[in-house]
Amino acid sequence: MTDLAPLDIPLVDPQRHHCREVTGTGDDALALYCGHVRSGRSSYCAQHRRINFVMAADVSKPKARVPA
C-alpha cells in the first residue's frame, strides 16, 4: 500500500465520506482532516485505519520471551 498525502480538509468542511484522521493545523490553528475516502464503516481511510488499529494491535501484542 502506498502512503497517500493528506488532502487537509479543514475542521469545519468535512463530508460524511472524509477520513477523520487529524493531520495538522491550518493557518487558523484549527485541525485539518486527512480527507480521503473512509474505509467501510470506519471513521478513517484504509491507510489511517491500518496505522491506528492494525499496527497498534501488533505493537501491543506481548513478545515471546527468549531463554537467556
pLDDT tens digits, 7-46:
999 988 889 999 999 999 999 999 999 999 999 999 999 9
Overall average pLDDT of the 49-68 stretch: 71
Count of structural domains within the chain:
1
User: How far, CA to CA in Å, does 29 sit from each of 9, 16, 25?
Assistant: 13, 22, 5
The answer to whether position 49 is within a domain reads yes
Residue 9 exposure: Cα atoms within 13 Å on the Cβ side: 15
- Cell of residue 13, nine digits: 468542511
**Residue 56 scores a pLDDT above 70:** no
Whole-prediction pTM value?
0.70
The answer to whether position 65 is within a domain reads no
The answer to whether position 18 is within a domain reads yes
The answer to whether position 34 is within a domain reads yes
CB neighbour list of residue 4: distance below 8 Å, 6 or more residues apart: 34, 36, 45, 47
CB neighbour list of residue 52: distance below 8 Å, 6 or more residues apart: 21, 44
Give the structural domain span for 21.
Answer: 9-60
**Residue 53 scores a pLDDT above 70:** yes
The answer to whether position 3 is within a domain reads no
